[in-house]
Amino acid sequence: MSERLEDIAAAIVADGKGLLAADESSGTIKKRFDVIGVESTADSRRDYREMMFRAREAMTRYISGVILYDETIRQKAADGTPLVDIIKAAGAIPGIKVDAGAKSLAGFPGDTVTEGLDGLRERLADYYKLGARFAKWRAVIDIDTGKGVPSANSISSNAHALARYAALCQEAGIVPIVEPEVLMDGAHDIDTCYAISKATLIKLYDELHAARVVLEGTILKPNMVLAGRKSGKVSSPEEVAEMTIKLFRETVPAAVPGIAFLSGGQEDEEATANLNAINAIGPHPWKLTFSYGRALQAAPQKAWSGKASNVAAGQAAFTHRAHMNHLAALGKWKASLEQAA
Q: Which band of pLDDT confidence, cut at 50, 70 and 90, is reported for residue 12?
A: very high
User: What integer pLDDT is reported at residue 341 of this predicted model?
Assistant: 55
What's the mean pLDDT in 203-221?
98
* Number of domain units in the chain: 1
Q: Is the pLDDT of residue 134 over 90?
A: yes
How would residue 2 be classed by pLDDT, with cut points 50, 70 and 90? confident
pLDDT band (50, 70, 90) for residue 275: very high
Residue 258 phi, psi (nearest 5): -160, 155
What are residue 20's DSSP bridge partners?
A: 66, 292
Domain CATH code at residue 137: 3.20.20.70
**Backbone φ/ψ region at 305: left (φ over 0), alpha (ψ -120 to 50), beta:** left
Q: Calculate the dihedral angle through the C-alpha atoms of 1, 93, 274, 300, rounding to the nearest 10 degrees.
A: 140
Report d(CA 123, CA 232) in Å as an integer. 43
Q: How far apart, in whole angstroms, are the C-alpha atoms of residue 295 and residue 234?
A: 18
Burial of 58 (0-12, 13-18, 19+ CB in 10 A): buried
Q: Which amino acid is at 166?
A: A
Out of 179, 181, 207, 270, pick the active-site residue.
179
- The one-letter code for the residue type at 6 is E
Of residues 103, 107, 205, 215, the one with CA closest to residue 169: 215
- Contact status, residue 215 vs residue 221, Cβ threshold 8 Å: no
Average confidence (pLDDT) over 100-110: 98
280-314: pLDDT as tens digits:
998 999 999 999 999 999 999 999 999 999 999 99
Task: Evaluate if residue 1 carries a pLDDT over 80.
Answer: no
| pTM > 0.85 | yes
Judged against a pLDDT cut of 60, whether residue 61 lies above it is answered with yes
**pLDDT single digits (tens) 244-273:** 999 999 999 999 999 999 999 999 999 999
pLDDT for residue 304: 98
What was the pLDDT predicted at 339?
81
Segment 235-250 mean pLDDT: 98
* pLDDT over threshold 70, residue 96: yes
Active site residue 221: yes
Phi, psi of 97 (to 5 degrees): -80, 130
Domain span holding position 36: 5-340
Closest CA to 87 of 117, 59, 121, 47: 59
Dist. CA 176–CA 170, nearest whole Å: 7
Angle of the 152-171 helix axis to the 120-130 helix axis, nearest 10: 50
322: number of Cβ within 10 Å: 24
Phi, then psi, of 114 in degrees rounded to 5 = -85, 135
Three-class SS state of 148: coil
What distance lies between CA 15 and its chain's CA centroid?
A: 17
- The pLDDT tens digits for 75-88 are 999 999 999 999 99
Computed over every residue of the chain, the mean pLDDT equals 97
Active site residue 238: no
**In this predicted model, what pLDDT tens digit does every residue of 142-172 receive, in sequence order?**
999 999 999 999 999 999 999 999 999 999 9
Spatial separation of the C-alpha atoms in residues 171 and 297, rounded to whole Å: 32
Q: Annotated catalytic residue: which of 17, 221, 270, 287? A: 221
